[in-house]
């Protein structure tokens, strides 16, 4: 199904085109187009609408869900210090999930028609159009589906009363991640910490795309050796 010397027509819906790129797909997605206006994905207006999400929908939808899960553990008798510890641990575990997903799933290399197509929907579109403001956060319907296996995974290792607070903490970590990710692309930070984080993430997009997989921090990049070199270090080699 892969066509030789295929050229993507950016004026037409992209999703069912990119698979034809074959082995050229990886090179194509890592040549970003910097525009706040994103491309069209599908001919169907319905399917197209499912690919677009405003950033504020994430906290609006998910923060009440976070509070509900945390309240479940409170109603089961846990104290507030215990709840705070479980939520903090859930957030910390999310940072590892964030790193693992970004490095090993979002940056998987594909070359088959359906492999390229699925990868483009999952993450390739973000690298091709990194400033597309309506495709920066994860669509809530897809996130809701992914919550199910994560809930059952936590249940395997936690007690019935701690599972909700741990899950709520992880979900809160996800909300923080998605909102942070949007801000790093479209915000104009004035403080040094967010400035450095923005520089770190845009470096992943525009300079060294196989390093720097952390979004909310560089912690796991340091742990697993995927911290990108600075320009000064590269020049010194």
Q: Within 13 Å of residue 130, how many CA atoms lie on the same side as its CB?
A: 21
In a domain, 3, yes or no: no
Per residue in 101-132, pLDDT (tens digit) is 999 999 999 999 999 999 999 999 999 999 99
- For residue 2, is it within any domain? no
pLDDT tens string 129-177: 999 999 999 999 999 999 999 999 999 999 999 999 999 999 999 999 9
Model pTM score? 0.92
Residue ranges making up the domain that contains 172: 14-235
Q: How far is residue 88's CA from residue 194's CA, in Å, rounded to a whole number?
A: 21
Could you give the number of structural domains in the chain?
A: 1
């Amino acid at each position: 199904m892969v066509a030789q010397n295929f050229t993507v027509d950016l004026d037409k819906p992209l999703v069912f085109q990119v698979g034809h790129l074959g082995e050229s797909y990886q090179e194509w997605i890592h040549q970003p187009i910097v525009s706040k206006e994103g491309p069209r994905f599908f001919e169907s207006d319905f399917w197209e609408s499912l690919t677009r999400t405003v950033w504020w929908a994430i906290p609006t939808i998910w923060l009440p869900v976070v509070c509900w899960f945390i309240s479940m553990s409170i109603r089961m008798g846990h104290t507030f210090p215990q709840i705070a510890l479980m939520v903090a641990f859930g957030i910390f575990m999310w940072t590892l999930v964030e790193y693992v997903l970004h490095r090993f799933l979002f940056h998987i290399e594909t070359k088959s028609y359906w492999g390229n197509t699925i990868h483009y929907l999952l993450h390739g579109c973000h690298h091709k159009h990194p400033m597309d403001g309506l495709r920066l956060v994860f669509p809530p319907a897809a996130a809701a589906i992914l919550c199910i296996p994560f809930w059952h995974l936590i249940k395997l290792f936690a007690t019935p009363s701690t599972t909700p607070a741990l899950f709520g903490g992880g979900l809160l970590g996800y909300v923080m991640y998605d909102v942070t990710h949007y801000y790093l692309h479209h915000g104009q930070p004035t403080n040094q910490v967010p400035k450095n984080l923005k520089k770190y993430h845009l470096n992943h997009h525009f300079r060294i795309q196989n390093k720097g997989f952390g979004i909310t921090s560089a912690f796991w990049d340091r742990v697993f050796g995927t911290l990108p070199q600075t320009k000064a270090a590269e020049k010194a080699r």
